[in-house]
Amino acid sequence: MKEDLYPNMFWDSEKIRDCRIQVQKPWVREEFWSYYFSRRISIYLSLFLAKRKGVSPNAITIAGIAAGLIAAAAFMYGSAGAFLIGCFFYQMCYLADCVDGEVARIKNQNSAGGVWLDIGLNYSLYLVSFSVIYGVASSQPTLGPYLIYLILFTIFTEILATNGSALAFGQGKISHETVSMRKRSRWLDAGVFLFLTQTGFQSGVLIAALMWAFSGQHQFLDLWTGYHLLVGLLRALYKLKLNIKYVTSSRQEGGEAHEGSAHGGRTRIKDQRAN
């Protein structure tokens, strides 16, 4: 069944297929970009690095954070070439987010410090989002300041909503229900990925940067960025609304919010390096 399918390449050996089952997620639980691209190649890098005694999952996470910071700096420069460089380092950051967890599971090396660094890696992607808007806004003297304010407000709301979801819903109820809906169809999964997710936004930025480099026109990048800025804001506000609704109902039922928070905290440590 397709729900049981794991990322694969046609030349995979039986050993690699078994390793994929042990350290990766099946299609029904995986993000579109990870399943069709990142995880296809990450296993080879993970197996190579896992054999190196001097390479730890935490070191890989730190390398991913560094790649995210480089990507952010490149996007802020605001030229077509800089955007292409930013897209490359963003993909390195995303790949590191896959590899560190796989190496941790292969080596059976999990730690609270690893969870902390993994959170830093995820937050570096917020910085990348801000930098893309900053790079686009640099060519918009009138709308630029408003775009920067909107992305800052969106990031604030997204962090508040995401952290609230982890505390209130433990296993990430919102994320789980969203993925379950998407997995009803591969085409639906691809559409949601491209038009409604952060990684889909970055894929479009790569296409827009290529168009900019070859044609000298960046209008598509402006439109694509503006669209995803609106989507990101609406997504964050919706998640925040669910958080507020949960906390309000829990307080009315006699303090269950505290129990949910404690459960969420335990889950976060238990499921460290889930990516």
Confidence of residue 250 (pLDDT cuts 50, 70, 90): low
- Read off the pLDDT of each residue in 187-201 and give the average, rounded to a whole number: 89
Confidence of residue 95 (pLDDT cuts 50, 70, 90): very high
- Read off the pLDDT of each residue in 92-100 and give the average, rounded to a whole number: 93
Q: What is the mean pLDDT of the chain?
A: 82
- Read off the pLDDT of each residue in 132-156 and give the average, rounded to a whole number: 84
Residue 268 has pLDDT above 50, yes or no: no
Confidence at residue 180, expressed as pLDDT on a 0 to 100 scale: 65
Distance from C-alpha of 88 to C-alpha of 34, rounded to nearest angstrom: 16
Residue 263 has pLDDT above 80, yes or no: no
Confidence at residue 270, expressed as pLDDT on a 0 to 100 scale: 46
Place of tokens 């709308």: 143
Place of tokens 């995880």: 39
Confidence at residue 166, expressed as pLDDT on a 0 to 100 scale: 52
Give the tokens for residue 60.
């890989």
- Read off the pLDDT of each residue in 48-66 and give the average, rounded to a whole number: 91
- Read off the pLDDT of each residue in 132-145 and give the average, rounded to a whole number: 82
Confidence at residue 15, expressed as pLDDT on a 0 to 100 scale: 92
Confidence at residue 252, expressed as pLDDT on a 0 to 100 scale: 65
Confidence at residue 81, expressed as pLDDT on a 0 to 100 scale: 93
Angle at 219 between CA 214 and CA 221, to 5 degrees: 80
> What's the burial of 120, exposed, middle or buried (CB within 10 Å: 0-12/13-18/19+)?
middle
Distance from C-alpha of 53 to C-alpha of 123, rounded to nearest angstrom: 28
Confidence at residue 28, expressed as pLDDT on a 0 to 100 scale: 85
Residue 130 has pLDDT above 50, yes or no: yes
Distance from C-alpha of 160 to C-alpha of 116, rounded to nearest angstrom: 17
Share of the chain above pLDDT 70, in %: 82
Distance from C-alpha of 175 to C-alpha of 235, rounded to nearest angstrom: 12
- Read off the pLDDT of each residue in 242-271 and give the average, rounded to a whole number: 57
Confidence at residue 1, expressed as pLDDT on a 0 to 100 scale: 40
Distance from C-alpha of 84 to C-alpha of 191, rounded to nearest angstrom: 23
Q: How many helices and strands, by DSSP H and E, does the chain display?
A: 12, 0
Confidence at residue 4, expressed as pLDDT on a 0 to 100 scale: 67
Give the tokens for residue 249.
């109902």
Confidence at residue 126, expressed as pLDDT on a 0 to 100 scale: 84
- Read off the pLDDT of each residue in 102-125 and give the average, rounded to a whole number: 84
